[in-house]
């Protein structure tokens, strides 16, 4: 297993800090699953840092919260008991989201906007596929609520999917723009001699 360089550690720390800021920008407890900017940050981390560092930035953010730092978007905002929150599965899903997005964009210097967007949309699918079953389990077996599939989707999917796809489009546009700028300045990863499309 390769070690993390000083640059890797810095990038992971920066994105973990950005996750904290994103969580605090929209912090409120008005619904079981609140609006959040963390999905945008997870997609952006995967798109800009790649699968390993992108996922690691999300892991660091989650660990900060679990050790008690109040970095999460809903009460109690941190601590190990947060794993019993209905939305914790989405946080785990954001790790998978960043990894999958980064994996799908490994050859991003050859792609236009559409490959970026499709990668981000795949990331959305990943965190929903992890977050929704977790939401069901906590609501049903921990909180003792009877939840149908329709109610589950109404709580954790339907109100958010359009906004999540908007976030995916925004993350795709920003990640591609940043990567193209780095490539133009000679700071790209150099895996291909081709100029980005």
Q: Average pLDDT, stretch 84-95?
A: 96
Mean pLDDT of the chain: 88
Q: Average pLDDT, stretch 32-47?
A: 88
* pLDDT computed for residue 186 by the predictor: 53
Cβ atoms within 10 Å, residue 51: 18
Which fold would CATH assign to domain 6-184? Arp2/3 complex 21 kDa subunit ARPC3 (1.10.1760)
Task: State the Cα torsion 167-163-169-49 to the nearest 10°.
Answer: 20
Separation of alpha carbons 47 and 11, rounded Å: 13
- 76 pLDDT tier (thresholds 50, 70, 90): confident
Q: Locate the domains of the chain by residue range.
A: 6-184
- 1 pLDDT tier (thresholds 50, 70, 90): very low
The model's pTM is: 0.88
Contact by Cβ (8 Å): 98, 42: yes
């Amino acid at each position: 297993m390769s070690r993390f360089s000083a640059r890797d550690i810095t990038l992971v720390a920066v994105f973990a800090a950005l996750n904290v800021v994103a969580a605090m920008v929209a912090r409120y407890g008005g619904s079981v699953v609140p609006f959040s900017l963390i999905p945008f940050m997870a997609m952006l981390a995967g798109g800009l840092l790649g699968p390993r560092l992108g996922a690691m930035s999300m892991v660091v953010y989650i660990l900060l919260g679990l050790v008690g730092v109040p970095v999460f978007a809903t009460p109690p905002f941190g601590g190990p008991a947060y794993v019993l929150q209905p939305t914790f599965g989405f946080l785990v899903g954001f790790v998978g989201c960043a990894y999958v997005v980064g994996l799908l964009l490994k050859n991003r210097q050859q792609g236009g906007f559409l490959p970026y967007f499709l990668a981000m949309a795949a990331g959305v699918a990943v965190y929903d596929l992890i977050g929704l079953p977790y939401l069901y389990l906590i609501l049903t077996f921990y909180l003792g609520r009877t939840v149908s599939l329709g109610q589950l989707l109404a709580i954790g999917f339907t109100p958010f999917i359009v906004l999540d796809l908007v976030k995916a489009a925004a993350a795709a546009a920003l990640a591609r723009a940043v990567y193209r700028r780095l490539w133009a300045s000679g700071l790209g990863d150099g895996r291909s001699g081709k100029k980005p499309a």
